[in-house]
Structure 1
Amino acid sequence: MSEGVFHALSHIQSLSKMMHTIILNRLLQMVPVMIGISLITFAVISLSPGDPAEITLRATLGTESPPKEAIARLHEEMGLDDPWYISYMKWASRVLHGNLGYSYQTKRSTIEEIAYALPTTFELAFLSIIFSAATAIPLGILAALRQNGPLDHLCRLSSIISLSSPEYFVAIVFMLVGGIYLGIFPVAGTGGIEYFILPALTLSIGLSAVTMRIMRTSMIETLEQDYIRTARAKGLSRRIVIQRHALKNALIPVLIYMGTQFGWLFGGAVIIESMFALPGLGRLLVESVSSMDIMVVQGCILTFAAIIVLINLGVDLAQLYLDPSIRDQGE
């Protein structure tokens, strides 16, 4: 009994040590990623055509010829008169102190703008994951169990069509069918969950196609493992073998893939939120780019990058917990 307890404690300690190592490595990797993204953002804004101060004042004042004195003041305030590296260092110093600046359009802080928009994008991405899992996982399992049958061929064909269809085209189809012809869901605006159905379905199409193929492949490979053959040889029914033995292991690569894609859905929301007029982080970024609202653009891009890095960290920890082979290698 004491040896079993000692082994369990050693296993927990080893697992905890591995998790701490992964967290530390990811946090250290996050630093150069953020620096690189911020530098690229600065370079893109610096090379973009037009004067950001003048464009900002045009949108703010509603005039094509802003006063030169106002342009000069905004130039100084935005740091456009400084060399790009001086401007970058000033901005980085403010970010390290938790100050992302403010919107030149709304006069609200960038953090407030992002905090207002982020829940909408999170809800959209979460619903997209739910729709994808609800359709792709059962279809992938059925396709694997009926390999090379009519359903399998139909699933593979539908996945090819889904991956070949641009998101904006799928969005237009859903708008026409679900919103205009059938009148079931609203096609634009904000409100209850019904406003998220069509954009979430649009965002889930490509994800569902890949998830279904991964689920199918993983289930086929799992059913060919020796422990599955042993379970069948013991006389267990096919349903019990699949539910108790095959499904759990086959789901691991699917869950890991969907976890990594959850972060990238935030990036995909840029187009979808603009088309469906959802006030999320993607639409905020598009509007900020069009009006050259520099502080908000930089804050949105850094937020996207941080979300992706943190979600990948969570996926790594989940994989360590779900996949025994990784834990065994670490030990």
Structure 2
Amino acid sequence: MVGISLITFAVISLSPGDPAEITLRATLGTESPPKEAVARLHEEMGLDDPWHVSYLKWISRVVHGDLGYSYQTKRSTLEEIIRALPTTFCLASISMLFSAIIAIPLGIAAALRQNGFVDHICRLTSIVCLSSPEYFVAIVFMLAGGIYLDIFPIAGTGGIEYFILPSLTLSVGLIAITMRIMRTSMIETLEQDYMRTARAKGLSRRKIIQRHALKNALLPVIIYMGTQFGWIFGGAVTIESVFALPGLGRLLVNSVSSMDIMVMQGCMLTFAMIVVLINLFVDLVQLYLDPSVRAQGE
């Protein structure tokens, strides 16, 4: 987290443009704000201080829960983030749900019919999904589901129906990789010695898959999807902008376009904290679910 805060602060500090002048342009609605006002805002924003002094002042406030305030809306950065975070969390959660519902059954079907028609279709689909940019997938879903079929709204916020198209868009890449991991894990599990023993005992193929193979094959998929949950928040930056969702990603994009430094730094730090905490949680879950990991730790 300290390293990420240093990198974030350095990148924002080295960005072109004068944040004070850009802020006054937006606030006053003029291309040439008064120099006295720019100088006052420079002092208020701490832009005249050396880089390391500005960083230490900012990080000392962050440690005490003060992320500063937005120079555009004059509201607390923490309040802005808290207001936007539920939208992004809902978007990420529904995307994970779509990924699990679609990718896991397809991966199992591809593994059970290895090198068959279903397997070839699934592998081809995964390649197409991974090769398609998110903004292109978003446009396709907006045209198909929102305009031609007129089933779901294509922009704005409201009920759960507003999250369907953006969540499907965000889950496309995750579906492709999760499906391939599920397929590979299932094939490896079915080739284990204890699976041959179960078949030798006369257990039906269905019971072998349900009682033994599926539980063991799901572990790598659960671990992967858990780690990707944090990274989905990063993908929300593009999706929320396309579908006009008032989430954390759109808040970051708007703050970048207006050079709202405090909001930019707060959003980046929040994204980093989410990824770190989710990865920690996934490691603890793996430690609980996987006996081999516990044995290595002991």
Shorter-chain TM-score bucket reads over 0.9
Task: Please state if 1:281 is matched with 2:248.
Answer: yes
Matches within 5 A, 1:73-92: 73-92=40-59
Task: Please state if 1:202 is matched with 2:169.
Answer: yes
Deviations for 1:269-308, whole angstroms, at most 9, x for unmatched residues? 0000000000000000000000000000000000000000
Residue 95 of structure 2: aligned partner: 128
Task: Please state if 1:227 is matched with 2:191.
Answer: no
Which of 91, 108, 114 does residue 75 from structure 2 map onto? 108
Matches within 5 A, 1:141-160: 141-160=108-127
Deviation of 1:330 (Å)? 2.2
Deviation of 1:173 (Å)? 0.5
1-structure distance, mates of 2:19, 2:7: 17
Which of 50, 54, 67 does residue 34 from structure 2 map onto? 67
Deviation of 1:44 (Å)? 1.6
Deviations for 1:11-67, whole angstroms, at most 9, x for unmatched residues? xxxxxxxxxxxxxxxxxxxxxxx2222222222222211111000111122221212
Task: Please state if 1:245 is matched with 2:225.
Answer: no
Which of 234, 254, 272 does residue 305 from structure 1 map onto? 272
2-structure distance, mates of 1:142, 1:220: 11
Residue 95 of structure 1: aligned partner: 62
Residue 131 of structure 2: aligned partner: 164
2-structure distance, mates of 1:134, 1:60: 47
Residue 217 of structure 1: aligned partner: 184
Task: Please state if 1:51 is matched with 2:21.
Answer: no
Q: Comparing 53-62 with 118-127, which one deviates more in the overlay?
A: 53-62
Matches within 5 A, 1:157-196: 157-196=124-163
Residue 16 of structure 1: aligned partner: none
2-structure distance, mates of 1:313, 1:197: 29
Task: Please state if 1:317 is matched with 2:284.
Answer: yes
2-structure distance, mates of 1:62, 1:193: 37
* Matched AA of 2:225: M
* Matched AA of 1:311: I
Percentage of matched positions with identical amino acids:
84
2-structure distance, mates of 1:303, 1:280: 12
TM-score when normalising by structure 2: 0.99
Look up the SS of the partner of 1:103 in the other structure. Answer: coil
2-structure distance, mates of 1:37, 1:317: 23
* Matched AA of 1:85: H
Task: Please state if 1:268 is matched with 2:235.
Answer: yes
Deviations for 1:134-170, whole angstroms, at most 9, x for unmatched residues? 0000000000000000000000000000000000000
Look up the SS of the partner of 1:86 in the other structure. Answer: helix
Look up the SS of the partner of 2:203 in the other structure. Answer: coil
TM-score when normalising by structure 1: 0.89
Task: Please state if 1:138 is matched with 2:105.
Answer: yes
Task: Show structure 2 runs of 5+ residues with no match.
Answer: none
